[in-house]
Amino acid sequence: MTEKTNSNSSSDSSSDLSNSEQNNQVIHAEENSAKSAALTAFTLVRHDNGIAHLVVDVIGENVNTLKTEFAEQIDAVLAEIKADKTITGIVLCSGKKDSFVAGADINMLDACQSREEVVALSRQGQRIFTLLEQLPIPIVAAIDGTCLGGGLELAMACHARICSDNVKTSLGLPEVQLGLLPGSGGTQRLPKLVGLQKSLDMMLTGKQLRAKQALKAGLVDDVVPNSVLLNVAEQKAISLHQRGKSLTKRKLGLMDKLLENNSVGRNIVYQQAQKTVQAKTQGNYPAPLKIIDCIRTGIEISAEQGYKLEAEHFADLVMSDESAQLRQLFFATTAMKKEQGVANVTPEKITKVGVLGGGLMGGGIAFVTATKANLPVRVKDINHKGISQALKYSYQILNKKVKRRFLLNSEMQKQLAMITGSVDYTGFKAIDIVVEAVFEDLSLKQNMVAEIEENGHENTIFASNTSSLPIGKIAAKAKRPENVIGLHYFSPVDKMPLVEIIPHEKTSDQTISSTVAFAKKQGKTPIVVKDKAGFYVNRILAPYMNEAAILLLDGEPVDKIDKALVKFGFPVGPMQLLDEVGIDVGAKIGPILQADLGERFAAPAAFDKLLADGRLGKKAKKGFYLYQKNNLVKTLQNRLKGIKPGQKQVDESIYSLLNLKPMGSLSAAEISKRCTYMMLNEAARCVDEGIVRNARDGDIGAIFGIGFPPFLGGPLRYIDKIGAKSVVAQLSQWAEQYGERYTPCEALVTMAENSQSYYS
């Protein structure tokens, strides 16, 4: 094979090289060529077979992202391609390892000062990708690694797409997660490739597809090993050139024909999508409905109108407060990934992990350690049943992924092999960090510390997953207290992104940094918090939950309270959350908070009746809601009442148990406001007391730990939005009406007096 770079120099390679060796030579030559090209992210590498490789390699970046300034570079390279009649096809590929194009640079959106600028930016992206699509010769995207957002829009503008079977290869349009929509033609091109229903599913959820899923959906034309990716892409370009760029039409299933091939069927799809969106977003996020509008316009009216509307809706969303907050959250979490637990303290390398306790938490911790951190983990339990539970936890999650073709069976077996179990401490001498997930009993946890100090090595970190016990007390009898730290996960561990890292007074900086690094390897977002009652998340959650309970006792119905907070933006209401977590768990944490922090944390005394009645929540199938399966008669009765199958029903006996008549006089807005303002007040106290390091960590902790509405940016950003003066005035009014628990904290009062805010 002979290669020609921009300077038309050529070099011969032996004809007897394997495909893999040839491919490696091509990659190295193209990487060198891309690096030598002055100040351009796009380099053209010509080959004797008439196929040129267009290499995307953004200088100085770990991954490729599309930037505004690339427009001129792309225009120039497309002009060069058109002018060279020897080029009969293009393979678009990346110079980065495990990354095709990760998306567009979000910073360029924040740089836009007006809606008109954003419209122009979107139209420019559409124009460039249309030029690519209209090239007189075929262009094939060779995708290895992440291909998201603007990267997928770029790939969809090509005439074919071949992707590697690399486990890191993923394709998707996740813009909705930033309160946006694909603004460079994605809403118009994706439906043509994968159909109306699949495109709605992908864009409305931000779902990413693995290679085989993308092939099944029709998003890519072939999936091949990375070693032959470029060769197969070249052959595809040659084939398309020979048959005149004619594209393979998507195969339609029966449901596709019924719902997508006629306007009546499509209307049903649009209406159902709108209903689903409304139910999930409660109208708090404008992006999903605008995505549906763009797709509908492009299909039902014209592509031209679809592109125009896409640019306009994209601009409206970029300028919206919801997207601004979601983008700020993205920047904040990105910045946190670059931080260490303690500045300038390099974490120790962790190679082996231990978990004490094989229950739900222990099983979840073992799962993320093996599958996310890719570290071997030993689960220690007092009996084999606990170990079996931990292994079952991982097997069930991974097996679902295999069934959905998200994971190969061989990969599942490999990951499961990373988890082993033991009823003693065999092998613990080699373990670098042990995560304790046993019962909330102080003496038991202190015994665990002593046993790990005996059976581990001198630097083994002991990380307690306690939700309420002070870490200082757990470490009180330790020989090496500097190795003891809190590592508080949230349930379910495989889904909840947050962990709280809780050092006590004697925890070493090395232990803090190493634990933070370990949590990040598990795919978690860690915040370092002070060792004080409730830490951060439970501390700000408790007043919110208590207020909901007080409203219930004042006669507000259970479902009305929950619906009010879901409408506000929480994923579930406080009463349902209490059922999910366990009413008994809340009862244990309450007295600890009350003893350390005062009477404002006192839970309503009437709740003792719930525990006495065996109402522990979902796990006991008895709480605020019904969890027993309905018989046929009950199902029919519910249908007559308009209650849908699967819809949660309040256990009406809760009212007689608490001697209540659920009349309900407050509006949904008043209910959500009273509960939420209690959380805001406590979050302000936590920042003031240094429980969290800064407002940013406080906001991330609330969003990732308890689902505070992301579109509001977190409790501290929400205080800024309302204004400290307004928050203080409202809390003061309620303090006079309902009691001292509403008294605004000193930090908020000072902010109000000085017109201050948490963020500039």
Q: How far is it, in rounded angstroms, from Cα 40 to Cα 504?
A: 51
What's the token pair of residue 235? 């052959």
Q: Outline where DSSP puts E strands in 218-279.
A: 222-224
Determine the 3-state secondary structure of 251 from DSSP: coil
Beta pairing partners, 238: none
What residues act catalytically? Answer: 500
What lies within 8 Å, CB to CB, of 754 at 6+ separation is none
75 phi, psi to nearest 5 deg: -55, -45
Contacts of range 278-286, beta carbons closer than 8 Å, 24 or more positions apart = 282/566, 282/567, 282/569, 284/322, 284/569, 284/709, 284/711, 285/176, 285/179, 285/322, 285/711, 286/179, 286/316, 286/317, 286/320, 286/322
For 114-133, the DSSP string reads SHHHHHHHHHHHHHHHHHHH
Structure letter (DSSP) for residue 571: S
* Of 409, 395, 372, 398, the residue nearest 519 (C-alpha): 372
What's the token pair of residue 28? 């190295």
Angstrom CA distances, 114 to 22, 71, 117, 318, 327, stand at: 49, 20, 5, 10, 17
Determine the 3-state secondary structure of 304 from DSSP: helix
Q: How far is it, in rounded angstroms, from Cα 739 to Cα 600?
A: 10
What lies within 8 Å, CB to CB, of 493 at 6+ separation is 360, 361, 363, 364, 365, 367, 368
* Secondary structure element (H or E) that encloses residue 278, with its range: helix 263-281
